[in-house]
């Protein structure tokens, strides 16, 4: 007898998170966020945490380093293209205590679960099983530096979509650091 595994039919949005539990990530694509570190410890008041994202697709693996603000920008944009993303648990912005070790650890765990769930959704929608296809849909996982384009307040009010691009395509990004390791 042959058994076939069919995707779970999701009819109500409130059932979605259970269906897309982070533990259901297919073996073809694995994602972890093993560490977070303060990028500029000398400037503890203005420094920010960077999260290491480890990605493995079959035999290919790589690491990228991203700030919370980059995750947040991607989350806002993904919600527009994949309505199911709204049901996922994304860690909220936190202005007070966001450098506290407990807050950083909790945020790291939530971002890891969030990314795993997003990859599950994208795989269901696009049947992605290679790096280039995944990075096209989810550029935050690409090895190129990823950031959101700086714009003036008036420009941001006139357009609802945050524009994303790969850093290095504009002179204004030359001052941004590139994280290549711990």
For residue 63, the domain's CATH number is 3.30.1520.10
Residue 95 lies in a domain: yes
In a domain, 150, yes or no: no
Q: Is residue 146 part of a domain?
A: no
CA atoms of 34 and 53, how far apart (whole Å): 7
Domain of residue 79, residue span: 13-129
40-95 pLDDT, tens digit each = 767 666 678 999 999 999 899 999 999 999 999 999 999 998 888 999 999 998 77
The 3 state secondary structure assigned to 24-52 is HCCCCEEEEEEEEEECCHHHCCCCCEEEE
> Is residue 113, in this structure, part of any structural domain at all?
yes
Q: Is residue 140 part of a domain?
A: no
Whether residue 173 is contained in a domain is answered as no
Q: How many domains does the chain have?
A: 1
Note the pLDDT tens digit of each residue in 96-108: 777 888 999 999 9
Nearest to 33 by CA among 145, 108, 105: 108
Question: Is the whole model's pTM more than 0.75, yes or no?
Answer: no
């Amino acid at each position: 007898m042959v058994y076939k595994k069919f995707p779970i039919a999701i009819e109500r949005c409130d059932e979605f998170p259970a269906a897309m539990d982070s533990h259901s990530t297919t073996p073809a694509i694995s994602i972890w966020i093993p560490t977070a570190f303060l990028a500029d410890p000398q400037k503890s008041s203005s420094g920010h945490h960077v999260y290491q994202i480890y990605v493995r697709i079959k035999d290919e693996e790589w690491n990228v380093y991203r700030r919370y603000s980059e995750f947040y920008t991607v989350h806002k944009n993904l919600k527009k293209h994949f309505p199911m993303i709204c049901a996922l648990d994304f860690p909220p912005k936190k202005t007070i205590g966001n450098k506290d070790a407990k807050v950083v650890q909790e945020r790291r765990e939530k971002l890891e679960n969030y990314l795993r769930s997003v990859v599950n959704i994208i795989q269901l929608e696009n049947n992605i099983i290679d790096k280039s296809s995944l990075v096209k849909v989810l550029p935050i996982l690409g090895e190129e530096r990823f950031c959101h384009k700086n714009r003036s307040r008036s420009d941001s009010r006139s357009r609802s979509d945050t524009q994303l691009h790969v850093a290095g395509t504009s002179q204004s990004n030359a001052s941004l650091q590139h994280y290549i390791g711990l």
